[in-house]
Homo-oligomer: A and B are copies of this chain.
Amino acid sequence: MFQIQNTYIFIYFSLYLGGGMKHETIRLAHGAGGLLTSRLIKDVILKYFNNKIIKRLEDSAEVNIKSRNIAFTTDSYVINPIFFPGGDIGKLAICGTVNDLAMKGAIPEFISFSLIIEEGFPFRDLEKILKSASRAARKAKIQVVCGDTKVVEKGKADKIFITTSGIGIIKIDLTKEKIKVGDVVLVSGTIGDHGITIVNERLDLGLKSSIKSDVAPLNLITNKLFNFKSSIHFMRDPTRGGIVSVLNEMIDKTPYGIMIQENDLPIKREVIGATEILGIDPLYVANEGKFVAVVDRKAARRILKRIKSHILGRDAAIIGEIVKKPKGVWLKTKIGGTHPLLQLEAEGLPRIC
**Listed stretches A71-79, A209-217, A250-258, A307-315; interface member:** A71-79
What 0/1 readout, one digit per residue, does chain A (21-37) give for beta carbons within 8 Å of chain B? 10111111111100001
Neighbouring B residues of A116 by C-beta, 8 Å: 76, 78, 116, 161, 163
- Of B60, B137, B165, which one neighbours A49 at CB under 8 angstroms? B137
Report yes or no: A49 in contact with B147, Cβ–Cβ below 8 A.
yes
- Of B37, B151, B158, B351, which one neighbours A28 at CB under 8 angstroms? B151
Report yes or no: A32 in contact with B151, Cβ–Cβ below 8 A.
yes
Report yes or no: A145 in contact with B61, Cβ–Cβ below 8 A.
yes
Given A26-B126, A65-B70, output 5 extra A-B contacts at Cβ < 8 Å: A31-B149, A31-B150, A44-B123, A49-B113, A63-B167
Once the chains are docked, how many angstroms separate the CA of A108 from the CA of B9?
45
Q: Does residue A277 face the partner (Cβ distance < 8 Å to B)?
A: no
The complex is assembled from copies of this chain, and their number is 2
Once the chains are docked, how many angstroms separate the CA of A28 from the CA of B150?
9
Once the chains are docked, how many angstroms separate the CA of A83 from the CA of B299?
55
* A258 CB, min distance to chain B CBs, angstroms: 25
* A124 CB, min distance to chain B CBs, angstroms: 7
Interface residues on A, range: 35 or more
Report yes or no: B63 in contact with A65, Cβ–Cβ below 8 A.
no
Contact status of A74 and B114, CB under 8 A, knowing A26-B121, A121-B26, A151-B31: yes
Report yes or no: A45 in contact with B153, Cβ–Cβ below 8 A.
no
Neighbouring B residues of A24 by C-beta, 8 Å: 122-124
Q: Does residue A334 face the partner (Cβ distance < 8 Å to B)?
A: no
- Of B110, B149, B350, which one neighbours A63 at CB under 8 angstroms? B110
Q: Does residue A203 face the partner (Cβ distance < 8 Å to B)?
A: no
Report yes or no: A146 in contact with B74, Cβ–Cβ below 8 A.
yes
Give the most central of A2, A32, A76, A117: most B CB within 10 Å. Answer: A76
A11-54 at interface with B (beta carbon < 8 Å) = 21, 23-32, 37, 40-41, 44-45, 47-49, 51, 53-54
Neighbouring B residues of A4 by C-beta, 8 Å: none
Q: List 14 A-B contacts (CB under 8 A).
A: A23-B123, A25-B120, A26-B123, A49-B113, A49-B133, A49-B147, A53-B146, A54-B144, A61-B110, A74-B148, A75-B148, A76-B163, A152-B158, A152-B350
Q: Does residue A131 face the partner (Cβ distance < 8 Å to B)?
A: yes
Q: Does residue A109 face the partner (Cβ distance < 8 Å to B)?
A: yes
Neighbouring B residues of A115 by C-beta, 8 Å: 76
Neighbouring B residues of A123 by C-beta, 8 Å: 21, 23-26, 44
